[in-house]
Amino acid sequence: MLTPTGSRNVDNKFEEIKKKSENLKRRSFQDFWTDVVECSELMQKLDPNQRRPWIADVICQMYEEQGGKCALTGQPLDASFEVDHIVPVSYGGGNERANLRLVSRSANRSRGNRGVDPRDLLRYLEDRYQNR
């Protein structure tokens, strides 16, 4: 049977291990994210994206596919909706149809170039690299 002092020692040890684990996970994620961003920068040098005007037919098709709703919030789109890059242009995202969605202006502005899972970004960059 653990004494109160023994129980506190176990609790302290558990908290210490938990903190070490969380720090390792955070550092690992930061290292991974740094590597993925570096891949993104390399891809932009190898195969820079060309901006081009949106094709009205594609926008209409996307609007229908999304049921007239914002891809981020699910709310109905108004006339100020924007075409959003799922993988932002700043990370090497292109104008491929699969990388586009319609979103409300406010949702797009609040997202900025955040909200990209580094694993999704890496998969996207690998696909772009292999298909360039």
Work out whether the CA dihedral 60, 81, 74, 119 comes out positive or negative. positive
Percent of all residues in the chain with a pLDDT value above 70, rounded to a whole number: 89
Mean pLDDT, the chain, rounded, equals 83
Residue 123 reports pLDDT greater than 60: yes
- pLDDT of 20 reads 82
Residue 65: which pLDDT band, with cuts at 50, 70 and 90?
very high
Q: Determine the number of helices (DSSP H) and then strands (DSSP E) in the chain.
A: 4, 2
Counting Cβ atoms within 10 Å, is residue 3 exposed (0-12), middle (13-18) or buried (19+)? exposed
User: In this structure, how many other beta carbons lie within 10 angstroms of the beta carbon of residue 132?
Assistant: 8
Encode pLDDT of 70-116 as tens digits.
999 999 999 999 999 888 888 888 888 888 999 999 988 887 667 77
- pLDDT of 37 reads 82
* DSSP class per residue in 55-119: PHHHHHHHHHHTTTB-TTT-PBP-TT-EEEESS-GGGT----GGGEEEE-HHHHHHHTT----HH
Residue 2 reports pLDDT greater than 60: no
User: Considering the entire predicted model, what is its pTM?
Assistant: 0.62
